[in-house]
Structure 1
Amino acid sequence: MMATTRKIALWSVSTALLAGAAGCSGAEQAAPGEKKGAAAAQPHKAPAAAPVRLIGDGSTAYTGAQPHLTRPERLKPGQQPPQFVVFSWDGAGEDSQKLFSHFRKVAKESNATMTYFLSGVYMLPTEKRDLYSPPRHSQGRSDIGFNDIKSIRNTAEQVRGAWQEGNEIGTHFNGHFCGPDGGVGTWSVPEWQSEIRQAKSFVKTWKSTTGLRHEKPLPFDYEQELVGGRTPCLEGQQNMMRAARTMGFRYDSSGVGTQVWPQQREGMWDIPMQTVPVPGRAFETLSMDYNFMFNQSGTVHGDPSKHAYWGNQMRDGLEQAFNRAYTGNRAPLIIGNHFESWNGGTYMRAVEEVIRTVCTKKDVHCVSFKQLVNWLDKQDPATVEKLRKLEVAQKPKAGWATYLAAQPQHADVRTPQHH
């Protein structure tokens, strides 16, 4: 069972569009990520099995290139961009709910790959908690607790399988400290560097700390695999990015933004959480289960008679957000979640329905953040900059062929009519 000391951290963002909060706590068909004839990328066969080369104490290992990925390709002049959707999970771990394993199955059935942001302390047993030295807090403290041996074994099993299926293993860092009293938003660059080093270390030494030396290793070098994350409560992004860019990170998803194309900042891709519609309400909120819950009930134990309605509201809001991108500027849709059972599990049901609905549509690619930044890095920077000029739901007035033509042409954009 996962540690039971997890807390929900409330926060607010000062913006007219955002009403709510983001917090975290601590769920055989075609190979995920492969789409034949896709404009975004051409699939390649998984490489032949490479000899396993253990790293360190054998908690991780080099096993060759990750299978079931797509090879990114540069857009041709005038080509319409694909529609990317990124489903990501904060504090990913396998507990008694078995949601990690469940959503791995959903992803495979929907031809999707995802990003799992693993909290480092979920690979550290409670009895070894003093190995964690959190910035601005006492030794061995964590606001989401630690883990037990059984859950660490189960989480390692899910992380292993997820990576082999083409999913990304990112980080949600460690102790999940929020707010002004020593929270991550107060941390300096050196303190963030310490937090990142420790998050890596707990994943790279889980066999030693648990005594599970006969378990299979995680099939990747975490120094190479870890290229991005999301901060607790979406706080502390600036100093985290300044630290992370020196430690192999290529992107961050801790910001708050709208449905427009990402940009580079601090030497990394800044891919924020996005505001999306809340059907029947006059505001938008972040594309995350926590934010819908906060705006609907303000508690994880809301009125049972409203559970189905709240889940449908989240599902419909995410699908509206998808549709305005899919038929508009084609900006990647970024969706964040937790493995949780808030309000009767209605948000898990909602996000599963969204996955099964959108990931099988034509020219849609449900991918990990790593796959998305691989594609962005492959594009002409001038093309990405032009895509960024398209606002939420905007579509080139004269069509994509003209707007992204090889030679500059007059190509105004329009704001579609909303009904």
Structure 2
Amino acid sequence: MGELSRRSVLTAATTAALGSAVAGCSDTLQQPRSVAGASGTAAAGKRKVRIIGDASTADTGAQPNQPHAVPLEPGETPPQFVIFSWDGAGETDAALFSRFLKVAEDHDAKMTFFLSGIFLLPEAKRKLYLPPHHAPGASAIGYLTDAHIRATLEQLTKAWNAGHEIGTHFNGHFCGAGGVREWSPEDWDSEIEQAIKFVMTWKTNTGFTDLPPLPFDYRKELIGGRAPCLEGQRNLLPTAAKRGWKYDASSPGGMQMWPSKREGVWDYPLQAIPFPGHTFEVLSMDYNIMANQNGGNPKGDPTKFDAWRTQATESYKAGFDRTYHTNRAPYFVGNHLETWNGGIYMDAVEQFIQQIAGTPDTRLVSFRQFTEWQEAQDPAVLRKLRTLDPGHGPTEGWKQFLGTPGPAAPTTAPPPAGTPAHA
């Protein structure tokens, strides 16, 4: 499941330049009104099931274990949202998908799993994939074994029933020259349609007739994704908007600010966060931390693993502390289910979650859930939140700042070309 490193861009935060890079728990038993009241918690076996197509998927009704989003009251402090997402989510012998489902369960967290569509397509059927501008079956990432496809299907069912989001990481992960950054809106539409098809026809393609269907209609479930290597968003957005997607997490980088929309789609970038021991900042993703530690080598010097693990954990925590104590911007943390450098980045994410578990007003949610919260808010409140710079809270305090709607804030422009990034 290794992914290729390619280049993209990120602008520095207001007071720090980024370092070099080659290229998102809470006391949810007492959630505040802003994210509270789980609904749809009936077990899948008790819900009405409508089989779809070849029985690879089924409509089982509303997703279980979802919070109910309500507007902030005037003067209320916003919750601190933390959104963890996983690129190319699949279950291999490393069992990282199942590991983080357990971590999420332990801390009452919800996450977004960006599934690569070809992870449900057997390699023997690889030529069913027709990637734009590439030969049939071509892919910059590997296909899963049959056993790993089975394991991935099991984890996808568990994830959705637990309340996690299943987004998309598209299919072939083509970066750089000839890759997704050169794709047209029509190319993206083809890629998305194929990703959906592979999810909704896995029984036909695998022959695994002994497995139950996935418990969701992916045509309805899919409302956002993250493009390979954070490239190609400009031409992806028109297609996402046309398909009715709510958000896109493919931005090449941003700052810890409240998000805005681009072409009618919520733009959720990875963020520049403090990097302990350095004056520059790093993107909030495991690969970019690794790239700044050893140039992106996933098999680095084992004698440095402990120090790198600690640095990664502290970097995630520093990003959380900055926004939690200031503007309360949502914190987007992106990762890959990978064992790079002995799995230290997986350890760092888990340690970070343990550190923030129980922090007052903190909500670990999926991109879908955060989007639903945003869309439940008064637009004037969101505009006012977008006036707060990274690391700066309201000088007059939240009660006065959000006591009445404020003036419209300018839409955040995409960052200029700068330091490369990766996803």
TM over 0.5: yes
Q: Give, in angstroms, the shift of residue 371 of structure 1.
A: 0.2
Choose the corresponding residue for 2:60, options 54, 58, 63. Answer: 63
2:30 corresponds to which residue? 36
- Structure-2 separation of matches of 1:173 and 1:34: 32
Match status 1:207 vs 2:203:
yes
Is 1:10 the counterpart of 2:13 in the alignment? no
CA-atom RMSD, angstroms? Answer: 1.7
Secondary structure, counterpart of 2:30 in structure 1: coil
Q: Is the CA contact 1:39–1:82 (under 8 Å) kept in the aligned structure 2?
A: no
- 1:242-391 mapped onto 2 (5 Å cutoff): 242-255=238-251, 256-298=253-295, 299-391=297-389
Give the whole-Å Cα distance in 2 for the aligned partners of 1:382 and 1:20. Answer: 38
Cα pair 1:162 1:168 within 8 Å, conserved = yes
Shift of 1:7: 4.1
Equivalent runs, 1:110-259 vs 2, <5 Å: 110-180=107-177, 182-255=178-251, 256-259=253-256
> One-letter code of the match for 1:338?
H
Partner residue of 1:415?
Answer: none
**Contact 2:92 2:148 (8 Å CA) reproduced:** yes
What secondary structure does 1:285 align onto? strand
Note the C-alpha offset of 1:304. Answer: 1.0
Greater mean alpha carbon deviation, residues 313-322 or residues 144-153: 144-153
Q: 1:37 to 1:233 in 2, by over 3 A?
A: closer
Distance in 2 of aligned mates of 1:238 and 1:66: 31
Shift of 1:42: 2.1
Q: Residue 166 and residue 34 in structure 1: after superposition, are their counterparts in 2 closer, same or farther (change >3 A)? A: farther
User: How far off its partner does 1:149 sit?
Assistant: 1.4
Q: Report the CA distance between 1:356 and its aligned residue.
A: 1.4
**One-letter code aligned to 2:318:** Q
Alignment-mate amino acid for residue 105 of structure 1 = K
For residues 269 and 14 of structure 1, do their structure 2 counterparts lie closer, same or farther at Cα, with a shift above 3 Å needed?
closer
Q: How many residues are aligned here?
A: 397
Structure 2 unaligned blocks of 5 or more: 408-423
CA separation of 1:12 and 1:193: change in aligned 2, threshold 3 A: closer
Report the Cα distance in structure 1 between the residues aligned to 2:4 and 2:31, rounded to whole angstroms: 43
- Letter in structure 2 aligned against 1:43: G
Structure 2 CA distance for partners of 1:252 and 1:395, relative to 1, 3 Å: same
Give the aligned residue type for 2:122. P
Identity percentage of aligned residues:
49
Counterpart residue number, 1:405? 403
- CA–CA distance in 1 between the matches of 2:200 and 2:22? 29
- 2-side partners of 1:408 and 1:229: how far apart? 31
C-alpha distance 188-33 of structure 1, shift in aligned 2 (>3 A): farther
